[in-house]
């Protein structure tokens, strides 16, 4: 008799073949079903509660994906493509997951009948390339010559990105703010130069856009109220130094034989502190910002000399202040000179809601801006921040890649019609790319379903219009009908669509190419507080 060969460690789970592939496809469909209802202007929101009991309300695909603790290895691929779409383009995170799920759904019956997955992969890759060529061919370029028109087209892209979000009611107010914010930046459009600060209270319409840096007043000691709250053209010292007295016992052990010696130690400490403060004062700085605490003695000292100080400034705010106002963070006061200090045209402290904010405006170096968000509930403000992030990313993309297409399912229907036409000219199994054409229709169909329309009826109308050569016809959510979405100003950067199609098709091909899953056993096994299963605690091995 031949003995059984044990190749893998005991406890390893291994499953392979057709059943494994079908199981992976089912898991991915379950993930797509989670976010399916959040697509479009009439999409629903999801309320997700984490282990700490904090609730998040969102309809942003990437946020939902991050918060779902997905353990299925194949389904994690969809979480990754949603994250990559969010990082690369900012919007279209729900669409990309839906597309990937639908591509797998279309291929499932063929896999069950025994068609080899590599045939499908080849067809899908070909279809993706055809789609990208078609998008590049029909995309419309935004003209940059006429500034008013260019701005209006960017606003339309921002409004489209926000129409499916929680703040769609205020999109006219926010689209101007988002475009203003992005136009204030340098040519590289760095995202970290747009700060978003949330202040509870007030309505959404009370949100401000500050051309410069703004951050919340930091913790302050007595004497703070006596400091001036506004300056013109001040010098700004940016430090990474503690300006307070340390309790001796915290730092060192010093043995003294009489009181006079102890007094010398105390005097020396005060001397060091006052020496630092004098140097800061003599440098001509009017505003002192430090990453570390500024104590009560220093606060009082500065207020006596009409200087303003803030300690424990968050690092990101300090970095933005450096980029905007110039200067550099110093770890010693010995090097304070004009070249190492920042400046701005105006500094003031204002009350916003229940918080005080420090504003630096008219910054000479980098262009930066801060959005101060107002709103009622905290979850509502968090969702508004996510919505603005998506809109800001879309405007950046539209500025960098100035080609746009119509949204609302129009481009998907046009690509679907194009792929059907191409598939009729191909002999052999690669006709499978008709599955890709069917999958693309999931976007307009889901837009209709989420709004409560008859999706079959509307899709039939769309197919007829696209067959007649009306390439920009898509779903009209407002009138339960179809409309020329390019004319209706529902616009999206073509890059969003190209990225979504590429990522969805890559994910689908990746999952189809897997035919075996091997799970290694956990080290230690069991749930006995890290003990191997089947052993009592404390017993020898």
The token pair that represents 419 in the structure block = 């792929």
What are the angstrom distances between the C-alpha of 157 and each of 153, 163, 425, 488? Answer: 6, 10, 36, 12
Q: Which pLDDT tens digit goes with each residue over 159-212?
A: 888 888 888 888 888 888 888 888 888 777 778 788 888 888 888 888 888 888
Q: Which pLDDT tens digit goes with each residue over 149-158?
A: 888 888 888 8
Q: Give the per-residue pLDDT at 526.
A: 46
DSSP secondary structure string for all residues of 410-463: HHHHHHHHHHHHHHTT--SGGGGHHHHHHHHTHHHHHHHHHHT--HHHHHHHHH
Q: Which pLDDT tens digit goes with each residue over 68-88?
A: 888 888 888 899 999 998 888
CATH class of 147-211+377-401: alpha beta
For residue 314, give the 3-state DSSP assignment. Answer: coil
Strand order in 346-352's β-sheet? 212-216, 355-361, 346-352, 230-232
List the catalytic residues.
Answer: 60, 93-94, 390
Please list, in sequence order, all residues whose beta carbon lies within 8 angstroms of the beta carbon of residue 285, skipping any fewer than 6 positions away.
234, 235, 236, 237, 307, 336, 341
DSSP secondary structure string for all residues of 374-418: EESSHHHHHHHHHHHHHHHHHHHHHHHS-EEEETTTHHHHHHHHH
Q: Give the per-residue pLDDT at 250.
A: 57
> Residue 214: which of 316, 330, 290, 340 has the closest Cα?
316
CATH architecture of 13-141+405-519: Orthogonal Bundle (1.10)
Q: Are 232 and 407 in contact (CB under 8 A)?
A: no
- Domain residue ranges in the chain: 13-141+405-519, 147-211+377-401, 216-365
Give the Cα separation of 196 and 214 in Å (integer): 9
Hey, what CATH topology would domain 216-365 get?
A: GroEL (3.50.7)
What are the contacts of 102-105 at 24+ separation with CB within 8 A? 102/32, 102/438, 102/439, 102/442, 103/435, 103/436, 103/439, 103/504, 103/505, 103/508, 104/25, 104/28, 104/29, 104/508, 104/511, 104/512, 105/25, 105/29, 105/439
Q: Span 533-541, mean pLDDT?
A: 47
Percent of the chain with pLDDT strictly greater than 70: 93
The DSSP 8-state label assigned to residue 520 in this structure reads P
Q: Give the per-residue pLDDT at 530.
A: 43
Please list, in sequence order, all residues whose beta carbon lies within 8 angstroms of the beta carbon of residue 225, skipping any fewer than 6 positions away.
none
201-239 as b/e: b if 16+ CB within 10 A:
ebebeebbbbbbbbbbebebbebbeebeeebeebbbbbb
The token pair that represents 462 in the structure block = 């769309």
- Residue 4: pLDDT over 80: no
Integer-rounded Cα Rg, in Å, for the chain is: 30
Q: What is the pTM of this model?
A: 0.79
């Amino acid at each position: 008799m031949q003995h059984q060969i044990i190749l893998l460690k005991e406890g390893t789970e291994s499953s392979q073949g057709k059943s494994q592939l079908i199981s992976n496809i089912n898991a991915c469909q379950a993930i797509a079903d989670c976010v399916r209802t959040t697509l479009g202007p009439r999409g629903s929101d999801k309320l997700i509660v984490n282990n700490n009991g904090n609730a998040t309300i969102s309809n942003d695909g990437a946020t939902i994906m991050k918060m779902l603790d997905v353990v299925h290895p194949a389904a994690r691929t969809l979480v990754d493509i949603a994250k990559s779409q969010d990082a690369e383009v900012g919007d279209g995170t729900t669409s990309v997951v839906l597309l990937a799920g639908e591509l797998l759904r279309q291929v499932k019956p063929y896999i069950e009948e025994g068609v080899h997955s590599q045939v499908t992969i080849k067809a899908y890759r070909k279809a993706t390339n055809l789609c990208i060529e078609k998008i590049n061919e029909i995309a419309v370029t935004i003209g940059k010559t006429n500034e008013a028109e260019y701005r209006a087209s960017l606003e339309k892209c921002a409004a489209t990105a926000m129409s499916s979000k929680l703040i769609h009611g205020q999109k006219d107010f926010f689209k101007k703010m988002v475009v203003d914010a992005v136009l204030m930046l340098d040519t590289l459009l760095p995202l970290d130069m747009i700060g978003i600060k949330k202040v509870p209270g007030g309505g959404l319409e009370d949100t401000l856009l500050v051309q410069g840096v703004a951050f919340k007043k930091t913790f302050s000691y007595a004497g703070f109220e006596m400091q001036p709250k506004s300056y013109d053209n001040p010098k700004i010292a940016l430090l990474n130094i503690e300006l307070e007295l340390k309790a001796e016992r915290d730092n060192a052990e010093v043995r003294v034989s009489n009181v006079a010696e102890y007094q010398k130690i105390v005097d020396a400490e005060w001397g060091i502190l006052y020496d630092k403060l004098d140097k800061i004062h003599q440098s001509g700085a009017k505003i002192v910002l430090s990453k570390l605490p500024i104590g009560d003695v220093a606060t009082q000292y500065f207020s006596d000399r009409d200087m303003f100080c803030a300690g424990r400034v968050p690092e990101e705010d300090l970095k933005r202040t450096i980029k905007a106002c110039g200067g550099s963070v110093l770890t010693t006061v010995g090097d304070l000179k004009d070249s190492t200090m920042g400046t701005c045209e105006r500094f003031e402290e204002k009350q916003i809601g229940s918080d005080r904010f420090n504003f630096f405006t008219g910054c000479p170096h980098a262009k930066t801006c801060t959005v101060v968000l107002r709103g009622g509930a905290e979850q509502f403000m968090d969702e508004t921040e996510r919505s603005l992030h998506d809109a800001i990313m879309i405007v950046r993309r539209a500025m960098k890649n100035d080609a746009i297409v119509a949204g609302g399912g129009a481009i998907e229907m046009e690509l679907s019609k194009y792929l059907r036409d191409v598939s009729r000219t191909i002999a052999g199994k690669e006709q499978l790319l008709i599955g890709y054409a069917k999958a693309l229709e999931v976007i307009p169909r889901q837009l209709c379903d989420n709004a409560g329309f008859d999706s079959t009826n509307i899709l039939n109308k769309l197919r007829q219009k696209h067959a007649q050569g009306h390439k920009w016809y898509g779903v009209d959510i407002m009138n339960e009908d179809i409309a020329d979405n390019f004319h209706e100003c529902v616009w999206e950067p073509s890059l969003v669509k190209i990225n979504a199609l590429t990522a969805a098709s890559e994910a689908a091909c990746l999952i189809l190419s897997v035919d075996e899953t091997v799970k290694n056993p956990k080290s230690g096994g069991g749930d006995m507080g890290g003990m191997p299963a089947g052993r009592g605690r404390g017993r020898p091995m």
